Structure 1
Amino acid sequence: MATTHALWGMALALPVLALAPEFAPVAFGAGLVGGLFPDLDLYAGHRRTFHFPVYASLAAVPAIALAIVAPLPWTVAFAAGLAAAALHAASDAAGGGLELRPWRASSERAVYSHYHGRWLPPRRWVRYDGAPEDLALAVLAAIPLLVVGDGRVAGVAVALLAASLVYVLLRKPLAALVEHLARLVPASVRPYVPERYRDA
């Protein structure tokens, strides 16, 4: 779920809170944005256009080093955001395939690796986005945010958890709804509908 990625992106900022609390607000915000950013490609080459599991991970290392050597709001934000985006892209390979109903396990495309020049296969440790284990990961990331975060951080964590719970409850019915709506799209617009919705 995008909310799980957002919570883990924020959780990456916890060391900043412990070591340089003056930069914690910007780190939490950047972690949230970085955790969500890759999914901006949802309707244009999803899990390929803005997902860089290898390159983002490699780029995060010098970005974190720069933030340690030269701690400034922008270096900390850049490091946290890039690390969160890298974690998002890499962790997508641990989930299900890129399909409308990933619980059917019919797709062998999890996330595209530009480094390898191919799609990485889904490991299905988290069977699909919105699975109970996905919610468990969201809760796991949220707990420390609720315990040590300030009121704003805790509030965002609660809101993300609430959205996660709703999505988990509606995940399978939503697939049927999307499939129905995709059939109603006019023929002239249909080529712009993501393939996984058209071929459901």
Structure 2
Amino acid sequence: MDQGNEDKDLSKVIEAGIRKSGSGPKDGQKGKPKGPRSDYLQIGPETPGYKLVQVIFERAVSEGLPSTDLADHLGIAPSTLSHLKTGRRVASSLGRDVIERFAEWLNYPVLAVMILAEQVHLADFYSPQNDLDRAIDRALQFMADDPEWGGMMPKDLDDASTHMKLWSVWMYERATKTRLITGGIDYLDLLKGMDEFRGEYPRKE
């Protein structure tokens, strides 16, 4: 995958992370939800891996895909999908094979799906010695002062989770080629290096 496509895929994750669900029918309006919206989530944002489940169901709703068909597209049993929706199973506990199938259906990088499932956190890419919260605040202030990018920053970013703030900083760094937070590792460069290493020294099965 080339750099442009990789950035587009990561941008999809950011967009999914800040998207807000619709408010539904207004008072006095009548209407019946269509497609899988009547099966919508019975878990809350506090559930581990909530964001991944939300993104999957939002995609299904937008495509008018019923839950039974969604399970088939994802390559999982309908009961597994139901358990994710109700919280009997959490996305953070999903196996690698399931994560890869979700990534294929969403057309996201596998690592991005793992991040949405809260199996990997962006903070994991930074040295534990970093005062990450303070570094993020400084980075956001730098971004806000940028005459080209500052005006595009979401107004509610200050109230966002550390995870979402770090995503925003990370994407700004990639777009502007500016390093705002030291002590971090670019996972794309790391993966490229590992691929080159394994090309020279194939792994024994």
TM-score (norm 1): 0.30
TM-score (norm 2): 0.29
Structure possessing the higher radius of gyration over alpha carbons: 2
Higher relative contact order (CA 8 A, sep 6+): 1
Question: Which structure has the highest helix share of the two?
Answer: 1
